[in-house]
Structure 1
């Protein structure tokens, strides 16, 4: 009976009438909506089966067949975040949904596949609307956004999980969504042979993991053709054995430690009981909990080794790339009341548990110098120094390292760009937060198309930066080069090259710059210890 249904679905036309806007896939039909601006959308499309019941902690499976046409007018639920209890009403364990935005009557347009961030512990950039980007492209791209599992639902790791479940399920969800794009995006007018990855923070970190998923060969390399990573996150990566403590602690807290099969016990727990215990604990040897405890695990398959090491060994996919960061990457993460060097060091050790005392001494000498760090109202004396250190350790210096790795390859050196986003906002400047982590999403997507309120300046004095950013991004999506279709009057964006060139982006001041010597020196030290920090 099921096989007969599949045949019937496969025989349905790929595109229905414009008025109904129904798209027929071989497992379901989805009714979307065409806006007056010529951009159509389909929201809440299942790209995998609900990861619930026996599929908790399992790799993503194919979606189930739906015989009735599904409404695709609203977003699907987000995946459940760590440290969220009671569970918010818009979050669910049944969360593997995607949204498609495409010009009406599109045919073979380039595809932008967006991976949201959240430290692999939240879906923190949810439900972005692709309408603004599509309009900025002249109706010449399609946009796909989606959810993936996070926290223990996506990244629980232990010997038990490796044996009876699946590791790195959040990353496998991303691959599953990419496979969906390869199979179905043509039905929505997209070109599966022209897919550009985009993402910020952990989403950009996922991009670097996909780029270096060398052992997975064609499974990954055939899924995308270019990548733009914003504020790529390089947290500490653990092996399965190093992750065992989190599994053991979770089974203890949930009452599963005495079960005959602890994995089955965790898998079969009520969601309410499991989520009550879904919070961060300190890594072994640390005094405080990290910002993000669950993260991708070195599994000798998708993640064969530390990311820094893989790129140093030339084990990465050769595609056009953009990497880049914001001026003040660390300000939203460092505790605002950090008043002593010891407090700063405790935070760094919590998030990089293998850091050594001699490394902390060197980092303190580079970042905790009082004359260089202004103290803002109500901020601790060492907040700014800690923010600068964390921002360069986790985001800025890794991005520069990746650009240099691509420059070392003749094939990729000519398609390798880096940016420094430095758009200022008066409120953020006065508080010391500055050009904070991932703030550029407001300019790329348009302030009315993101899910969190944009700074007011993006609708006033910083509104001119929006066409500049959208011009570079949509040009890269369309042509794998940010210059081809850039906004009129925007400066040419030169490649990274041997001189460490990057574009400095600020309203009315956008230009090329060379990485300052002082920052380059700091980054060379941090890059030299990165593998010992498990990055």
Structure 2
């Protein structure tokens, strides 16, 4: 069975490898001979590198979260760093690339694929709370350019700004007469940023990664004008866990997105992610994860286990933190680490905050890849019958519920492989009997239908605030994976293969960042992107080669209705 899965996956990986090996080399390098530019801020002088764009990386915005500051909220950096060499790529926070308890199949996936989600960051260190700023060459301090604030994805387990070079996007904006500044925030991931458990909750150490992101947004307000940016024109943008973080930033403190009396952002872009219904920080699942990490770190008998984790040597703590299931494992999207309600910053589960209007409502672009769930359904080859599928979801995702609730969800999905994901591929790609059905369910409950649920609340509460939605199908026909989760990053961020679609998508995004309307610079070859309005509103569907069409957001309505009706119990 393992060979039957790996064989088609290998061919699929080869397709993606041919693309991702062509990822543009980072615009800036560690080579000190590159031309430099200087920006003076209140905390010191920052030296950046000049290439296709001007790059300033590794700018600290908080004290190093090391020693007794490990597993604590970020502490604002109030001291000068003098003259800072920011010509490199900056550090990455400690990563959970794969669980240290991963199996052979998980390791094979890591060696076969090279999507941004699966890339290993270099220069990993706990001293990682830094910003990366990229701007057009020659930007003046008084330019007052709009700002795009990027939050990377990676299942709340991995990722860093160094993986994402904004040069292709910035280079497209300048000729259009719409320059802007791209800012990327580094935040703690895995156990370092999203540890749960009653001990964490009592200590006020929950959702540290979200607090890192929030402090990064505050850094932009305090400093971006020195780089030529306008702090009143910030758009927050994220993909996957980054998109979920965008919603969380909208919903933190019941929607209070102000700092020093001003708004931290004016618009939002969410690629493949929005609200994620979750149980509290001290729920049984989180407590099990915490107890496992404590045991693996040798802290079980400590009088204060959380303090023991703070004092554990870095390598030992990292291994313990990564000893629990990772996103690319059998438990899949039942994540070990993710934002959870803590009653203080994230005060309730996100779907409740959305329903009650306790979020900062701003113009937004929000959408999905057609086959969001395929990547996360490669590890469950023993799931061969409907009963086994129900049991898999029940035991790994919703063990506190009555099994009948999970069975009801599964019943809304056609059991025929022809109906599953990757969609519209008939009986092909069924690498095990329930693969395509599971891929459909995981994609919907984690990404596609949560987007629709959020939009339904947003339109009901704020009908005058515009939203634009999309579904990407540009990798239709890719074996096994289809238009897989995270593939849009290759199109929009990296611009790997020049084609009309990439140019159109970048133009829509640039117009939205600058004018808060993706149609502001529409040319004759581009389709007008309608606002999402009403139940099952129209969304843009993107295909390879630049083809687009409008799609009514009413597919799989029975599954949507079930997920919405049970959103407050179907919690991770």
User: Would you say same fold, with TM above 0.5?
Assistant: yes
Residues 109-150 of structure 1: per-residue CA shift (max 9 Å, x gap): 100001111111212675311112112222511101122101
SS in 2 for 1:145: strand
Q: 2:553 aligns with which of 515, 519, 534?
A: 515
Relative to the length of structure 1, the TM-score reads 0.86
SS in 1 for 2:556: helix
1:122-137 residue pairs with structure 2 within 5 A? 122-123=158-159, 126-137=162-173
1:60-459 residue pairs with structure 2 within 5 A? 60-63=74-77, 65-66=79-80, 68-82=82-96, 83=98, 89-103=122-136, 104-106=138-140, 107-123=143-159, 126-138=162-174, 140-215=179-254, 217-219=256-258, 222-232=263-273, 234-242=275-283, 243-279=286-322, 281=324, 291-335=334-378, 337=381, 338-349=383-394, 350-367=396-413, 369-370=415-416, 371-373=418-420, 374-376=426-428, 379-410=431-462, 412-424=463-475, 426=477, 428=478, 431-448=479-496, 458-459=497-498
> Relative to 1, partners in 2 of residues 1:418 and 1:67: Cα closer, same or farther, differing over 3 Å?
closer
> Relative to 1, partners in 2 of residues 1:377 and 1:534: Cα closer, same or farther, differing over 3 Å?
closer
> Relative to 1, partners in 2 of residues 1:372 and 1:173: Cα closer, same or farther, differing over 3 Å?
same
Output the CA distance in 2 between the equivalents of 1:360 and 1:291: 14
Q: Point out the more displaced range, 127-136 or 231-240.
A: 231-240
Query: 2:514 matched to which residue of 1?
Result: 478
> Relative to 1, partners in 2 of residues 1:162 and 1:362: Cα closer, same or farther, differing over 3 Å?
closer
The answer to whether the Cα contact below 8 Å between 2:58 and 2:88 also exists between their aligned partners in 1 is: yes
Output the CA distance in 2 between the equivalents of 1:253 and 1:235: 29
Query: 1:452 matched to which residue of 2?
Result: none
The answer to whether the Cα contact below 8 Å between 1:281 and 1:289 also exists between their aligned partners in 2 is: no
The answer to whether the Cα contact below 8 Å between 2:94 and 2:126 also exists between their aligned partners in 1 is: yes
Q: CA deviation at 1:255?
A: 1.7
Q: CA deviation at 1:378?
A: 7.4
> Relative to 1, partners in 2 of residues 1:341 and 1:258: Cα closer, same or farther, differing over 3 Å?
same
Output the CA distance in 1 between the equivalents of 2:121 and 2:233: 36
Q: Point out the more displaced range, 265-274 or 478-487.
A: 478-487
Output the CA distance in 1 between the equivalents of 2:305 and 2:253: 33
User: Over aligned residues, Cα RMSD in angstroms?
Assistant: 2.6
SS in 1 for 2:133: strand
> Relative to 1, partners in 2 of residues 1:118 and 1:347: Cα closer, same or farther, differing over 3 Å?
farther
Q: Unaligned 5+ residue runs, structure 1?
A: 1-17, 449-457
Q: CA deviation at 1:165?
A: 4.9
SS in 2 for 1:111: strand
The answer to whether the Cα contact below 8 Å between 1:297 and 1:303 also exists between their aligned partners in 2 is: yes
Output the CA distance in 2 between the equivalents of 1:90 and 1:425: 36
Q: CA deviation at 1:234?
A: 4.6
Corresponding residue pairs, total: 496
Q: CA deviation at 1:235?
A: 4.3
Residues 38-57 of structure 1: per-residue CA shift (max 9 Å, x gap): x3111111121111111101
Q: Point out the more displaced range, 107-116 or 346-355.
A: 346-355
The answer to whether the Cα contact below 8 Å between 1:403 and 1:417 also exists between their aligned partners in 2 is: no
The answer to whether the Cα contact below 8 Å between 2:257 and 2:265 also exists between their aligned partners in 1 is: no
The answer to whether the Cα contact below 8 Å between 2:193 and 2:209 also exists between their aligned partners in 1 is: yes
Asked if 1:502 corresponds to 2:539, the answer is yes
Query: 1:29 matched to which residue of 2?
Result: 45
Output the CA distance in 2 between the equivalents of 1:375 and 1:168: 42
Q: CA deviation at 1:247?
A: 2.0
Residues 487-524 of structure 1: per-residue CA shift (max 9 Å, x gap): 542111111111511111113421222124x4223211
SS in 2 for 1:119: coil
Q: CA deviation at 1:367?
A: 2.4
Q: CA deviation at 1:425?
A: 5.2
Output the CA distance in 2 between the equivalents of 1:395 and 1:288: 17
> Relative to 1, partners in 2 of residues 1:343 and 1:277: Cα closer, same or farther, differing over 3 Å?
farther
Q: Point out the more displaced range, 86-95 or 485-494.
A: 86-95
The answer to whether the Cα contact below 8 Å between 2:47 and 2:84 also exists between their aligned partners in 1 is: yes
Q: Unaligned 5+ residue runs, structure 2?
A: 1-33, 102-119, 421-425
Query: 1:527 matched to which residue of 2?
Result: 564
Q: CA deviation at 1:416?
A: 1.2
Q: CA deviation at 1:345?
A: 3.1
Output the CA distance in 2 between the equivalents of 1:530 and 1:480: 30
Asked if 1:52 corresponds to 2:66, the answer is yes
SS in 2 for 1:489: coil
Output the CA distance in 2 between the equivalents of 1:364 and 1:160: 35
Output the CA distance in 1 between the equivalents of 2:56 and 2:91: 15
Output the CA distance in 1 between the equivalents of 2:339 and 2:227: 32
